[in-house]
Structure 1
């Protein structure tokens, strides 16, 4: 069975959230994404979400399809653009319920990004499905998931430096800073970032920037899915402790708007791992991002848009 849920119906959304929070509390990204929808931080037109469950009340598996903010101009064109996929499934049901839902709910005729997929239980099922069907090429990126222990952070806050270096101003980012972040930070289309996505985070979520004589020299952002991400300091402003300072100040603000603070870092990113531990984050497991590109891409005709698969990756 595969049922599409109207998540803008409060009762339906609360049922899905209860399953995620109670049964699979380590599935942080999908839970926070839907919490933003519930609190109306994210609207239908921001990410065009679709949610599928195996049963209306006895939920064992949830699949969420969504887009990046600003990437899709309207609902009818979602198939022309990459769709993100979040999957949460009780591990006892991955070999039957999940496979059935992969067949019925996933748009395998377009490019997909499976986000924060549980490495041990769900990734092997997706891999096996793709290889048996011979429907695409795919690539897997593995990241460490971290979650903040709020009590530990509050204790560490007593000794963590919050002193701003002389001449530097720390404040929330402005919308126009998104262009500087994309250019100076060296982010490219394959890094999964877009101007619209960064501006969404600046306008609706928590961000922190460091400025010297009005020039942006460092930043830290919270992404639209609720994860702690995007930290960068210009080379000439390094060794001032700005990355740590911005992270601490942003975390303090995040705790005012969401219960859980979490993020992801590459396995070999020792600096991020060290900073996370310093602040009171602890490792909750390894999660995969799977980039899927089908052999045959289906694109809907529209006079206003080129007939190509547009992607931020």
Structure 2
């Protein structure tokens, strides 16, 4: 995994074209490409005869107004716990991009190295959860269908956001353009996005 930063088309193409940086004959996922720079990537891929596919287009939701983060109800808050690696298989089974050994390993890494939270049922089983990716974005937010519309997701995002803010860390999340439920949740909690900015997940040599 590598991170590439560029502010203009020319420098991005120069970086991506650096010998040995990418194997243009293998599957590669470019995660979070600025939509304004996507044409630069497509042009370079075309020059190398590499097939491409846009996987996802995301809003980058950033918490700029923390006043909407209200204290949770005490009965729900008492059911909050960190996830453990024993829960990785459950999380993997419900993740849109999960169900593989690779995604399972990623989830184990997230739980082991970064903050996570879940709301548990009476028997201690997680019914709703929220993790942090390696780049500190809130992610993998999920609530089992029978427990939805009870404030679980709002509680998880609020609690995690407050903890991160107390540590002086940025609070943000990637939300797919067509995920209206998540978009509504995050905007109601004070998150916003730049109207002219999208982050694109872009595949080279799509699987």
Q: TM-score range by the shorter chain?
A: 0.7 to 0.9
Q: CA deviation at 1:191?
A: 8.9
TM-score using structure 2 length: 0.86
- Counterpart secondary structure, 1:176: helix
Q: CA 1:146–1:233 in structure 2 vs 1: closer, same or farther (change >3 Å)?
A: same
User: Hey, what's the Cα distance between the residues in 1 that align with 2:114 and 2:30?
Assistant: 23
Asked if structure 1 preserves the Cα contact closer than 8 Å seen for 2:31 and 2:201, the reply is: yes
Q: CA 1:190–1:103 in structure 2 vs 1: closer, same or farther (change >3 Å)?
A: farther
Instruction: Work out which of the residue numbers 198, 202, 207 in structure 2 matches 1:290.
Output: 202
Q: Which residue of 1 aligns with 2:175?
A: 265
Instruction: Work out which of the residue numbers 5, 25, 28 in structure 2 matches 1:112.
Output: 28
TM-score using structure 1 length: 0.59
1:241 lines up with 2:151 in the alignment: yes
Q: CA deviation at 1:137?
A: 3.5
Asked if structure 1 preserves the Cα contact closer than 8 Å seen for 2:42 and 2:52, the reply is: no
In the TM superposition, 1:1-313 aligns within 5 A as 66=1, 86-91=3-8, 94-95=9-10, 97-104=11-18, 105-120=21-36, 122-149=37-64, 152-153=65-66, 155-157=67-69, 160-165=70-75, 169-183=79-93, 185=94, 187-189=96-98, 194-213=103-122, 214-257=124-167, 259-284=169-194, 285-293=197-205
Q: CA deviation at 1:98?
A: 2.6
Structure 2: gaps spanning 5 or more residues: none
Q: CA 1:190–1:208 in structure 2 vs 1: closer, same or farther (change >3 Å)?
A: closer
Q: CA 1:189–1:130 in structure 2 vs 1: closer, same or farther (change >3 Å)?
A: same
Specify which structure has the bigger relative contact order, considering alpha-carbon pairs within 8 angstroms and separated by 6 or more residues. Answer: 2
Residues matched between the structures, number = 202
RMSD: 2.5
Structure 1: gaps spanning 5 or more residues: 1-65, 67-84, 295-312
Q: CA deviation at 1:247?
A: 0.9
